[in-house]
Amino acid sequence: MIRDCRAGRPEGWSYFLTQYVPVIRGFLAHYFPEREGDRALIERVLVKLRAPESSLFQSLDPSPERAFVAELRQHVMRAVEADHASAAPEVMIEIEALGAALEPLTLTEKLVVWFETMRYGDAVIGRMLRMSPETAEKIRARGAELVRGAVDAWRSTLLADNGALLGRAAAALSTKDCLAPKAFFDVIDGRATWRGRDEMERHVKGCWHCLDHYCRLLEVVDVLRGAKPLGEAEVEGYKRLLGIETPKRGFWKR
Q: Residue 251 has what pLDDT? A: 45
Is residue 252 over pLDDT 80? no
Among the listed residues 151, 137, 212, the one whose alpha carbon sits nearest the alpha carbon of residue 181: 212
Phi, psi of 8 (to 5 degrees): 75, 20
Is residue 254 over pLDDT 50? no
Which secondary-structure segment (H or E) carries 73? helix 65-83
Question: Cα(148)–Cα(143) distance, rounded to whole angstroms?
Answer: 8
**94-149 per-position pLDDT tens digit:** 999 999 999 999 999 999 999 999 999 999 999 999 999 999 999 999 999 999 99
Is residue 253 over pLDDT 70? no
More confident residue, 82 or 122: 122
More confident residue, 33 or 254: 33
Phi, psi of 229 (to 5 degrees): -60, 150
Alpha-carbon distances, residue 193 vs 177, 182, 183 (angstroms) = 19, 13, 11
Q: What is the mean pLDDT of residues 85-92?
A: 90
**Amino acid type, 28:** L
Mean pLDDT (the chain) is 91
Note the residue count of the chain: 254
More confident residue, 70 or 37: 70
Q: Residue 61 has what pLDDT? A: 55
**40-81 per-position pLDDT tens digit:** 999 999 998 888 888 888 755 556 789 999 999 999 998 898
More confident residue, 204 or 83: 204
